[in-house]
Structure 1
Amino acid sequence: MSQRDQYRCRPVTNRRDPMPRIVRRGFLAAIPAVILIACTASPGWATTPDKVDPKGLILLMRHAEAPGVGDPPNFNLRDCATQRNLDANGREQARRTGDLLRRIAAGRLAAVHSSQWCRCLETARLLDVGPVQELPALNSFFERREEQEAQIATLRRFLAGLPADGAPVVLVTHQVVVTALTGVFPASAEAVLLRANGTGAPAVEGRIQVEGPE
């Protein structure tokens, strides 16, 4: 099997399968959310990383697997020991996703922005696709829902400033942010593929997910 064929979308028959999955936008509305992590067998929807145009591409990614929900009672933003952190599977997810993103970027250095939470920063660094910058607009508001509207507005202004022909941009964040911005409920390490268009609502083109071994 060639490297190109190895990364082609295909039906998922084994949830332990570590291969990347890409789903095209036209198929998203037609199937339940639980099925979205699987690829359709139809050649009309299948694609490979080599066929994804890196210009103006935005990858809005949920951090890799970090067991638990929310943040511990003693949560401290600047103390990783008080936070949920990536486990071994999550670190492997991040590395595998980085391998895929380097193929998509076709040699172009990506601009990588991350939530200030440790599990997001570690995910972003393990991707190894470009220098990581903290972006507070990507922070979690899971336990501060009153901040959601203002924060998403700030994030939309950031997105509106991204050039349509620019280098790939990777945004590592939390489920609540991805869902609020796109309506997608992502799995750990899943990314929504967006295309910069000069507005705060970039076009959604698909989703990718890479799983580490369990």
Structure 2
Amino acid sequence: MSMGAAQAEQADAWEALRTGRAVLLLRHATAPGLGDPPGFVLEDCATQRNLNEAGRAEARRWGELLRDQGIDSPRLLSSRWCRALETAREMGIGDVEPLPLLDSFFARSGQADEQTRGLKAFLNDLPGGRPVIMVSHQVNITALTDVFPRSGEGVVLALPVSEPVRLLGRILPP
């Protein structure tokens, strides 16, 4: 793909996101490690793998990028894992709604199919017209899109979600 075609694709993805015809599904910002430590407790961030300072800065840059793209008051949903919630909060673009469908199933791979079906149904029930940003985890994004995003990478998905999912663009961590 030529540089001009890539820029046009990116511009189309941003426009679809701004107008509520797409959703941005973002992998949480940088949190060193893999999975969660033994004894992980959802309600206790001290037991989880969390963002480091680079991850918090990355999340703030996401907020700046979104505002630069005209997205300053989206519906902002997040996994209940602390690293995802912190990513969403650090963006500084609105109140964060925890959504269990975005929770990691890394340690519970048997839930992947059911949870992914539930997320597709949720996405297809979203009212149009308002940008939607979702912060989740690599395993969830890969199950939905077949994309293996790096920490802090986003994928823009066309709404309604089809089978297979229509990927409008990938946005690298800012």
Q: TM-score with structure 2 length normalisation? A: 0.90
Counterpart-to-counterpart distance in 2, 1:109 and 1:200: 29
Displacement of 1:210: 2.4
Q: Which runs of 5+ in 2 are unaligned?
A: none
Amino acid at match of 1:175: Q
Match of 2:140 in 1: 177
Percent identity of the aligned residues?
46
Q: CA deviation at 1:93?
A: 0.5
1:160/1:201 contact within 8 Å kept:
no
Task: Return 5+ residue gaps in structure 1 as ranges.
Answer: 1-26, 28-39
1:196 maps onto 2:165 in alignment: no
For 1:14, the equivalent position in structure 2 comes to none
Report how far residue 195 of structure 1 moved.
2.2
Relative to total residues, which structure has the larger helix share, 1 or 2? 2
- 1:197 deviation in Å? 2.3
Alignment equivalent of 1:144, drawn from 105, 108, 125: 108
| Coordinate RMSD, CA, aligned | 2.0
Offset at 1:168?
A: 0.8
Contact 1:197–1:203 (8 Å) recurs in 2: no
Q: Which runs of 4+ in 1 moved over 3 A?
A: 47-51, 198-202
Separation in structure 1 between the aligned mates of residue 167 and residue 119 of structure 2, nearest angstrom:
16
TM-aligned CA deviation for residue 103 of structure 1 = 2.3
Contact 1:65 1:86 in 2 (8 A): yes
Partner Cα distance (2:112, 2:82) in 1: 20
On the 8 A contact 2:151/2:173 being kept in 1, the answer is no
TM-score, normalised to structure 1, is 0.74
In structure 2, how many angstroms separate the alpha carbons of the residues matched to 1:97 and 1:146?
Answer: 32
Amino acid at match of 1:44: A
Q: 2:49 aligns with which of 63, 70, 84?
A: 84
Task: Give the AA of the match of 2:108.
Answer: R
- Which position in structure 1 is the counterpart of 2:39? 74
For 1:50 and 1:146, the matched residues in 2 are separated by 37
Aligned length: 170
Q: Which residue of 2 aligns with 1:187?
A: 150
Distance 1:84 1:149, change over 3 A: same
